[in-house]
Structures are given as C-alpha cells and as structure tokens.
Amino acid sequence: MGRLFGTDGIRGVANRELTPELAFRLGRAVAQVVAHRAGEDRPRVGIGRDTRASGEMLEAALAAGLASAGCDVELLGVVPTPAVAVLTPLLGLAAGAVISASHNPAEDNGIKFFGPDGYKLPDEDELAIEAICDDPSPNGPWPVGRGVGRIRRREDANERYIQFLMEKVPVDLSGFRLVVDCANGAAFQTTPEILRRLGAEVIALNVEPDGHNINVGCGSTHPEALQQAVLQYGAHAGLAHDGDADRLIAADAQGRLVDGDRILVIAAIHMAEQGLLTGNAVVATRYSNLGLTQALARRGIQVIAAEAGDRQVLAAMRERGLVLGGEQSGHVIFLQETTTGDGILTALKLLQVMRERETPLAELRDWMHEVPQHLINVRVARKDQLGSSPACQAAIRDAAARLGERGRVFVRASGTEPVVRILLEGEDPELLRVLGDDLAGVIRRELGDA
C-alpha cells in the first residue's frame, strides 16, 4: 500500500485511492492505536466532514470500522476542521476525525485524525496506523454483542464550537459590514452565524453547497468574487475560507487582499504591544514573503522559518514555546486559544484588532510591504523524483545564481497534490517570471506533464 499519510492526513480521489474499504480499515486501526489507549471499554470518537458528496460514503465506512473495534462514534456532521480539534478535548473524546480535502477539488477527499488533546497525531501514531492497515490479517479478535460500538449523530457540534469561539474572542462587531465567502464548504453556516451574533451585518457568498461545488471558483483560493463584493457593498472587510475553513484570506475596503503573511504581521504587532507575544517571535515558513521579516524586524520581533505546512509550523511553535505562527496561504495558529489553524478564529482576531485600534484594515494591511514574488504550481506525473533529478536540481541552482543575494528560489513537491511548487522572490518581477517559466519547463519535461 505504501505510505498513507502525507503532510496533512490522507488524501486521494474519493472511491479510487481513498475507498470505503480503506476508510473502514483506518477506523479499526485508529481504534487500536489511539482510541483504546486510555484503556476504556467503549471510547468515544467524533467524526466531522465537509460538504463533499463523497464525505457521506467515507463517514459511514470510517464509523463502521470504529464501531467494529468497540468504539462509540459521534457523528458531528458538517463542521470546520478546527471545530473537531476544539470539540475532541472539549467533549472528552478519545479521538477525532475529519473527512475533508481542504482546498482540493471536489472529487478529492481526505481523512485526518486528532488525539484526545486536540492535536494532530504524531508521526509514530500514523506509522502504527499504517502498519495495521497494511497487514493482510484481520488483526482481531473483534468485539461481539454488547462490545460492538454504537453510532449516533450529534446535533450540537457547530453550536458548541460557536460558543467556544465567542468566549475566546468576545469582540463587538456592531457597525461592521462584512462580506464572507465560505467556498460552499464546511463553514457555510458557522461563519455567517457567529459574525451576526457578534453584531455584524453579513453578506454571505457561496453558502449553497451541493456536494460538488466546494472550492469551485470561490473561497480563499479564488478570492476575486470576494474582492468585487467588498467594493460592491461598501464593506469594511471581506473574509474567505477554504473548503474546511482552517484558512483565512481577507480583503480590505479597497478590495486589496490580506494574505496569511499580512495577517501574521498585524496579529504579531498587536499582541507584542499588549505583552501577549511570548518570546517576541513568530513562526512562518520559507514561502513567507521577505516583507514579513522586514516588517516585524522593525518592531524587534523575530521570525522563525519552518518548512512548509501547518504541521511544521506548529512543531516549531511548540518546540520554542511560541504562541503565534502561520503560512502565507492563510493557515494561522493562535496557540493560546486552539491547537491548529482556524480560519474563523483568525477572522475574529483580525476584526478584534480593527475594533480595538479603531483602525481600518487597509491601514493595518500597509504595516507590511511585499517584496515581489512569483509562484508557479507545476502539475507533474512523478513529483517524488524532484530531488533525484540532476536536470531539475541544476535548473534550480542556475535560477538561484541569477537571482543572487537579493533574491531566492524555493522548489518543493506538494504533500497533498501531484504538484511541484516553485517560489521565486526578488526585486525584478520580469526576471522572476522568466526564470519561473524556464524552471517550470525543465520540471515538466523531466517529471512528466500530469
């Protein structure tokens, strides 16, 4: 079977790579490795999902696997990924699972797991789960009679999550007009509801999921409609999530985007002034714009560079005892409040800064000035051969040499898609474009055009 877990759980085309049979085996394996760890006879495990049509199929299979291994299953329904991270410890669950492929196309799906503390599972647990799934033997004996788990639907999951967020960030949003793009995904009910309860006037976009329109031309990966709507409605800000709502990309009143880098700068400076930025440092990734480091350095705030992925950001934060970190894509982690990237919490934190400083988002956005970047996603057939391809590595070195000390190039294979990501940064946008196109051509030729 090979390694199942990537950088953010298990991903694949639903019913092709990610089948009900695999979901069933995963349920049994998670029960053995995680849920029964505390020694309870009937540990409880929660399952949340996004709005993809395949989520219902995979939910049923995963729940059956867990129940067959003696776990009681609580179906949380359509909830944001960070809601499961919150609810797992809040409800005293032995583990939590999310069925979602985040920002990926609707035909994809994924499964990720949280431990009882609300953190994603460590590598050793994922390896143990994979070993059980790879074993052709039944791994039993399995319980019978009263030992078989029950499956029940929980109706209050989103409400419990909303209450949690309102307690963590009790900001008064009266007088704010906000446009929200929920990407026809997991937050299509949650984000508009919490913003309205906090007093905002809300214009909600892409809140009619049909199982197939998640992320299609909308949300944080396609924010053009959000930008236009902010201008159309004269909104104070726009807020866009991806399919599982662990990201936030914002727009100011002028329709200009506020990405994860700018949000980190805004949050870090505000927290530092309040004495809340532990270690006077934040964690970002190698994809973050050089402007982030420059903006925070002017305030005496250090930036720790982690490898790409919210998992790596979180690991660096915990290792150094820091409370704020994130990615340019809009994953932002406020570790004093929760254990993972949370797009709704991030939105509330951003709006709280606007309210407390009585400062429009357009002004906060300009705390950071971007260095020109050029990002290319190259779909390839053999992304795993990037590091072993002499031609690819030579092309990367050549691009770095041409940029010199005043720029950089960073190339990596995606952990969740058949894609190689190329990031170039420097002072000459035209040079970045030329170098990027040349490099993409070499990678496509050497690794196969998918």
- Catalytic positions, written as ranges: 102
- Closest by CA to 425, choosing from 381, 379, 370, 377, is 370
83 touches 345 (CB < 8 A): no
- Closest by CA to 285, choosing from 266, 304, 298, 268, is 304
- Written as six digits, the tokens of 415 are 């952990």
Q: How far apart are CA 126 and CA 368, in angstroms?
A: 38
- Written as six digits, the tokens of 99 are 């069925």
Q: How far apart are CA 113 and CA 5, in angstroms?
A: 10
**Residue type for 292, please?**
L
282 touches 296 (CB < 8 A): yes
Q: How far apart are CA 26 and CA 20, in angstroms?
A: 10
410 membership: H or E segment, kind and range: strand 408-413
Is the preceding omega at residue 116 within 30 degrees of 0, hence cis? no
- Closest by CA to 247, choosing from 220, 222, 268, 217, is 220
- Written as six digits, the tokens of 280 are 């006077």
Kindly provide the b/e burial profile for residues 315-346, where b requires at least 16 CB atoms within 10 angstroms of the residue's own CB.
bbbeeeebbbbbbbbbbbbbbebbbbbbbbbb
E runs forming strands in 243-372: 249-251, 257-258, 281-285, 302-306, 324-326, 332-334
Distances from the Cα of 46 to the Cα of 20, 70, 241, 254, angstroms: 18, 14, 23, 41
- Closest by CA to 273, choosing from 302, 293, 300, 252, is 300
Handedness of CA 224, 230, 233, 239 (dihedral sign): positive
411 forms bridges with which residues in the sheet? 422
